[in-house]
Amino acid sequence: MDNINGKRAVNFLRGVPADEALQKLVPMASRGYENSITHYGTEVLQYGHFNGFKPLRDLLGTMHHVDPERIIAGNGGMEVISMLFKSFPRKCNIIVEEMTYDRVIHDAQRYGHNLIGVELTPTGLNIDQLKDVIDKTSVFAFYGIPFHQNPTGIDYSPENREAVEKICKDNGVLCIWDICYEPLRYDGNQNEPITVSEWGPILVSSFTKTISPGTKCGYMVLPQKNIGQMTNIVANTRLNPNLPTQGFIVDFIQSGEYAAYLNYLCNLYKPRMDALNDALNENFPGAFPADIHGGFFSCIQLKPIASDKEEMFLTTAKNAGVGIAAAWDAVAPNLREEKRKKGLLVRLTFPAFVTTDIKWGITKLKHVEEELL
């Protein structure tokens, strides 16, 4: 809980890990970085290979059952996604989910690409709409977040995910899955890993949420035929990634501490996720949110809050102690105008807050909504 001018406050704006999780990580990270320097010595202190630290690439190759040469490890998930977009032909068409990670939208547009949003359903992408877009448009790539989607929290069913992959493969469209939230499932079940074949799909991921934002390590799994081109892109973008961090991650995983830490995170975040699900269903029944099973985000569309009431609602919520923002930057550009007609869209994050603060914040949002009606 934050405290603004002595008043209770909750800031749902940023998807940051819980402070107690980072505190628990401190001794493990201290040992891991020391082990990295001691074990690898100048290998992690000198310039290294453009595509990342070989022991980490070897380990990730084993985890994904691919040749390690197909792995490129970099400084965070957004860096590897950005380099991937940089490698695409200029002004190509990329299909994204109707709502997606806002920085992906900004970065793709920075390289001149055109984004086309496709509707999300409770089990993944609208397959008929995906087929229709590909039939009518020259599409170069599809980008999606299949596990605990940002910002909706939706999970693709295995059947839906496989259907998306088949459509992309059959039509020569690159299929890119961002799997950064895959390990972060809190309901006691495990997500079914994505099988990578020779053609793909391309996987991108990050250790930002599973270890810490400060470690800044992400990676991608590419088809072999794309490695040469991507290596050139990487070499012209930066020399080498943070090698001591990549050495630490190797040690962290091989020691077994990473698996134990993931288990700790899942146990820590489960009651917080449950509190958010319960509070949304209690205060906003029939609204957009579906029950989430993991990840860092959910979102809600407030139908009574039309565009002319948005600013007043956000300001009133802030004065009441609840930090939120409109999530229009996360909506695909071609769907943004139509989506705004359905009411204010707000992204919510929960891992950094205790259950009582989550419930208080969502209840307070309901009160604010009622005040403005």
Give phi and psi for 51, each to the nearest 5: -85, 5
Average pLDDT over the chain reads 95
CA distances from 158 to 155, 164, 192, 254 (A): 9, 10, 7, 29
Contact assessment for residue 121 and residue 157, using Cβ atoms and an 8 Å cutoff: no
Q: Are residues 37 and 82 in the same domain?
A: yes
Q: What is the mean pLDDT of residues 60-73?
A: 97
Q: Are residues 317 and 223 in the same domain?
A: no
Determine the Cα–Cα distance for residues 341 and 302; give it in Å rounded to an integer: 11
Structural domain count, the chain: 2
Q: Which of 257, 288, 317 is the last residue of a domain?
A: 257
Determine the Cα–Cα distance for residues 82 and 370; give it in Å rounded to an integer: 42
How many Cβ atoms are within 10 Å of 22's Cβ, its own excluded?
15
Report pLDDT digits (tens) over 184-201.
999 999 999 999 999 999
Helix (H, G, I), strand (E, B) or coil at 161: helix
Q: Are residues 124 and 113 in the same domain?
A: yes
Residues in a beta bridge with 203: 177, 221
Using alpha carbons only, how large is the chain's radius of gyration in Å?
Answer: 21
Q: Which of 204, 235, 257 is the last residue of a domain?
A: 257
Q: Which of 195, 225, 257 is the last residue of a domain?
A: 257
Q: Are residues 293 and 196 in the same domain?
A: no
CATH number at 101 reads: 3.40.640.10
CATH number at 343 reads: 3.90.1150.10
Report pLDDT digits (tens) over 106-161.
999 999 999 999 999 999 999 999 999 999 999 999 999 999 999 999 999 999 99
Q: Are residues 317 and 231 in the same domain?
A: no
Q: Is 340 exposed, middle or buried (0-12, 13-18, 19+ CB in 10 A)?
A: middle
Q: Are residues 90 and 149 in the same domain?
A: yes
Label residues 148-169 b or e (16+ Cβ within 10 Å = b).
bbbbbbbbbeeebbebbbebbe
* pTM listed for this prediction: 0.95
Q: Are residues 121 and 218 in the same domain?
A: yes
Residue 349, domain extent: 2-16+259-372
How many Cβ atoms are within 10 Å of 335's Cβ, its own excluded?
18
Q: Are residues 228 and 347 in the same domain?
A: no
Q: Are residues 215 and 331 in the same domain?
A: no
Q: Are residues 69 and 205 in the same domain?
A: yes
* Tokens, residue 281: 């269903």
Report pLDDT digits (tens) over 316-349.
999 999 999 999 999 999 999 999 999 999 999 9
Q: Are residues 12 and 60 in the same domain?
A: no
Q: Are residues 222 and 132 in the same domain?
A: yes
Contact assessment for residue 218 and residue 178, using Cβ atoms and an 8 Å cutoff: no
